[in-house]
Structure 1
């Protein structure tokens, strides 16, 4: 900061009982373009400060003054404002004055007769410190606003992620229900057709036995398919449970639960999943959140396979233990990620599927879940023509 500018137009409360000294110092301060409010003693200075505290930038005061000395005035001012810069001018060098002034958070201590250059230097340092504090406070306020905005944006992204995942879930439910519902419809039609067309001769024991056998078989089929539908609902309901509790389990559990939900969809699109689950360690995890991560990566791979018409599409999932962590590697042969996108693939709203309504928040949320919620690491790289996601989670041991 420029010395001539930093003092310009500041307002100083100056308390000094010797009028000659006060007039001389005031005239000098005016040369620096400083506004001066003068007081003849500490009591008058305290009264001026109470009336104009918002306008006063700095206090310059003598110690020895009638009615209320400088230290008494400072003590009362500190009850109102703990941070305003204060400079003491005095002809006394007693240790007790110095100690009292230090306890009162004094910015500088200038001895009489006053050296104008030293006084100016003390004024600059004191007001510069005040300005820096004010700038820091203002930056902190702006930072708090930005933090709040980030929290709000995070909530919006999480909500969007949940809706996007829910839409994908509904599609998978529809796909998994299509075949059982069709089978139930076929079984019901056959039952009705056999019954109405009198295909069984109920007058004979053999006919009645054939009808009972046929009806039992079809009703068993219907019961099996209904149970299949119920299981599907349970799987998806568990995935969307709102309770968030850490559990101790092997990483194999959330991987297989995620596969249980999406495997029918993968099989329908001729996508092969190879598992090499060697990890045996237990870890602290939010199971449904990790299921969300694995579901997102499997779904992304599936979308890429379908978009590129990949022949012999394959996803490989490996887990293994290291000294103090569990590592998961998920690779697919759907082609590498462009090098320019490797560093931004986890950024919110980045997507290579925009033409197909890609939201660009799945991998971002996966990063949040792994690194913020589980204190792990999530990375991606190209490996021998494949895309591989690497997840590291710390074990309990």
Structure 2
């Protein structure tokens, strides 16, 4: 039960044709802190209600009044507002009045002569659901605002995560392009050098054939390296597609796609990859998002290897089928997390990397992708002087 303060500053439309009763009740209601708008009959009450612009909180009305009686007024008001609390005051107890008022969804009755204390209790009971509903609507509006803010915050984090990953990807593209570009440059130089130095005797058939063979070989090399560059761009472009299309695939295929993107970087840093890929189940996933998760975890392990200068760095990836999905285990021997950190590594903006080397959103976004977008599970634990990430995915319908 809400206390009596609920009546403070509510607006009551009071329709009563007997002036003495009206003045007495109005004075009493004012003592309760209620603002009273008085009407001498149902027609006046209806007009006041229409003019109030929904600022009336409760209606208190007599039944028998001139021009338009209380029930007639209530019937018209119910066409405008079906929920406003209405209390009837009457000295009449005829069954016909009671049945009519029930059909008009009356909240309470107060018999004349009016008991002031009973009236106060009746007002509180009648207005309570309306007040609670208003408070609930206000809370829901605040909640909707907070939800919108959180959704916007998550979009920002997703963008930050993608930009951070993009920076790493650009670095990897540059690394993977370095060798093919160098080879193209060497082949181009050799072609130019041979052409300008007159190494081939073009006056003889043998010289022309030798030149053609040399040029064809070098051009084939250049074509091969250009194709290598194109493939690299396609791999990264596919990863950064923003469309959220569900793909039917095996998780092993997605893991191999992730490793293909990271391959040169892992090889350069002498990180051994051990694969135990045994999953055959076909599952429905947002493949680019899942690849993003794998890249996040693998890149975190790589950064840890480099930061701690781990020798014989090993990254082991294991997959297996479950009755209703698949399980992925990604283990690295780059050292365990501190116990306190293990509980918060998936929190936004938490990072174990040295200052400015980590955004702290990679693992947070990985958790969002796995648990929210795929209804799966992701967890981490210390094991064998390293860390193991466990991912469970179910086939989404």
Give the TM-score taking structure 2 as reference length.
Answer: 0.91
1:156 maps to: 156
Distance 1:373 1:330 in 2: 20
CA deviation after TM superposition for structure 1 residue 266, in Å: 0.3
Give the drift of 1:54.
Answer: 4.6
CA distance in 2, matches of 1:330, 1:255: 11
Distance 1:353 1:99 in 2: 75
Give the equivalent residue in structure 1 for 2:131.
131
Alpha-carbon distance between aligned partners in 1 of 2:95 and 2:256, rounded to the nearest angstrom: 77
CA 1:206–1:51: 2 relative to 1, 3 Å: closer
User: Contact 1:271/1:313 (CA < 8 Å) preserved in 2?
Assistant: yes
Which residue of 2 is the match for residue 28 of structure 1? 28
Which segment drifts farther, 58-67 or 266-275? 58-67
Match of 2:355 in 1: 355
Instruction: Render the CA deviation track for 1:98-140: whole Å, top value 9, x for unaligned.
Output: 3443443332222333332221111112233232222112112
Of residues 158-167 and 183-192 in structure 1, the stretch that sits farther from structure 2 once superposed is 183-192
2:280 is equivalent to residue 309 of structure 1: no
Aligned equivalents of 1:102 and 1:383: distance in 2? 71
Offset, 1:198: 4.7
Q: Indicate the residue corresponding to 1:387 in structure 2.
A: 387
Task: Confirm or deny: 8 A CA contact 2:12 2:37 kept in the other structure.
Answer: yes
In 1, the alpha carbon distance for the partners of 2:354 and 2:22 equals 74
User: What does the per-residue CA deviation read over 1:233-253, in whole Å, with 9 as the maximum and x for residues that have no partner?
Assistant: 121122122332112111111
Where 1:335 maps in the other structure, the secondary structure is coil
Q: In 2 relative to 1, CA 2–210 (structure 1 residues): closer, same or farther, beyond 3 Å?
A: closer
Distance 2:210 2:47 in 1: 110
TM-fit CA distance, 1:304: 1.2
**Structure 2: where are the runs of 5+ without partners?**
none
Tell me what 1:225 maps to: 225
Kindly state the Cα deviation for residue 384 of structure 1 after the two structures are TM-superposed.
2.8
- The equivalent of 2:250 in structure 1 is 250
Q: Is the 8 A contact 1:60 1:89 kept in 2?
A: yes
1:318-357 to structure 2, matched below 5 A, reads 318-353=318-353, 355-357=355-357
Contact 1:282 1:396 in 2 (8 A): no
Change in Cα spacing, 1:172 to 1:13, as seen in structure 2 (3 Å) is same
- Find the aligned partners of 2:99 and 2:294 in 1 and give their Cα distance: 65
Contact 1:86 1:107 (C-alpha < 8 Å) held by counterparts: yes
Mark the CA change 1:107 to 1:195 in structure 2 (over 3 Å): closer, same or farther. same
Give the whole-Å Cα distance in 2 for the aligned partners of 1:154 and 1:238.
23
Looking at structure 2, the residues matched to 107 and 113 of structure 1 have their Cα atoms a distance apart, in angstroms, of: 19
Where structure 1 has 5 or more consecutive residues not aligned to the other structure, the ranges are none
Instruction: Please list the CA deviations of residues 50-106 of structure 1 after superposition, one character each: whole Å capped at 9, or x if unmatched.
Output: 233554332111222222121211122223333322111223344543344344333
Alpha-carbon offset, residue 356 of structure 1: 3.6
TM-score if structure 1 supplies the norm length? 0.91
Alpha-carbon offset, residue 173 of structure 1: 0.5
Shift of 1:162: 2.0
CA distance in 2, matches of 1:253, 1:91: 83
- What is the aligned partner in structure 1 of residue 290 from structure 2? 290
Q: Aligned pair in 2 of structure 1 residues 138, 221: CA closer, same or farther (>3 Å)?
A: same
Distance 1:103 1:384, change over 3 A: farther
CA distance, structure 1, for counterparts of residue 109 and residue 137 of structure 2: 26
Q: Secondary structure at the match of 1:355?
A: coil
Aligned equivalents of 1:217 and 1:20: distance in 2?
A: 114
- Is the partner of 1:150 in helix, strand or coil? helix
Structure 1: distance between partners of 2:361 and 2:218? 45
By how many angstroms is 1:206 displaced?
6.6
Structure 2 partner of 1:76: 76
Quote the RMSD (CA, aligned, Å). 2.5
